[in-house]
Amino acid sequence: MNSRRDFLQKIAASTIALPFVPLYGAARKEAVKQPYQGPVLRVAIMGLGGYGTRVADAMRDCKMAKLTGVVSGTPSKIKDWQAKYGVPEKNCYNYENFDAVKNNPDIDAIYITTPNALHKDEAIRVAKAGKHVICEKPMALNAVEGQAMVDACKTANVKLLVGYRMHFEAKTLEVIRMRNAGEFGKPLFFQGLSGFRIGDPTQWRLNKQLAGGGAMMDIGIYSVNGARYMIGEDPIWVTAQETKNDHVKFKEGVDETITFQFGFPGGATASCLSTYSMNGLDKFYLNGEKGFAEMQPSTGYGPILGRTHKGELTQPHVTHQTVQMDEMAGIILQGKQPVVAVDGEEGLKDLKIIDAIYEAVKTGNKIALQL
């Protein structure tokens, strides 16, 4: 996907410019972008790894969100980020002293991008410091932890948002609009394929204590969440089966491949795959009585590609994390309501479903869901 994006950027850069045509009056005024002068969400990123860096880079293009602080246990990373992003020393914290952020007016929210097992305690500390919480998905290791996060943020009267970047992606939103408008008719079936061949066997994503599982907790959650926003309902039952071929890389409690199925109250069903042992799996397919939508890639960093029975989806690609952070700023600062929720309750639903998937794998039973 990165190579495709690089290719598109080179094509755009090499395009010959059109001759200059002067604009006059109202047309010229409309062509000049006015700088944004509204409220700005000041964000600190906690966890300065690969994804935290991706978010920070994307925020350079945000209008309503700005990187103003960092939290890290690695002093050298803090120094690097200070130089790269211009973060002042007074807005830099480690995991021992970051409760002091309570007294820092330069930071409104903290975006947690650390390993899954750390999310709950970190989110609760952020909430107690009076700052809004943005947390990467999965929100926690399980629904019990997720509920504790929701409760802590309610008690502290701060927002809890989850990094569901696809909820703001233009082609995804067009499919949701079409479904809501009845253009597919009654939804009948969803297929979600989410997977890649994972590399380094020593990374935290293959550590049960840090990740809470394996592929399901990393890539499988995209099909769990995608089934819900594509169908437009929450599932009422789940069945699931696990396949494990490499018992050295995928130790006890670290899933390699899980296939899982949902039933929905309107009668639709879903069939999904989550894996760490197959490449090229990033596809959503929705079938309805009147039409279909197919997206491949469906959840990668983009561009997302898709088509429906009415033709190709042509909405322009914008860096997902840039859109996400601007939209989350709108939610926190202006009370904006997203088309698809990104709050703690949304994250909690996915955790309840993942808990049920693991239970279905363990017991072989169909598990009833009450979300």
CB 172 within 8 A of CB 295: yes
Q: Is 222 a catalytic residue?
A: yes
Question: How many angstroms separate the CA atoms of 30 and 36, rounded?
Answer: 14
Which residue among 85, 111, 164, 222 is the active-site one? 222
Closest C-alpha to 299, from 192, 189, 186: 192
| Number of Cβ within a 10 Å radius of residue 139 | 31
Which residue among 137, 159, 349, 352 is the active-site one? 137
Q: Is 93 a catalytic residue?
A: no
Residues 6+ apart with CB under 8 A from 338: 167, 168, 327, 331
Residues catalogued as catalytic: 137, 222
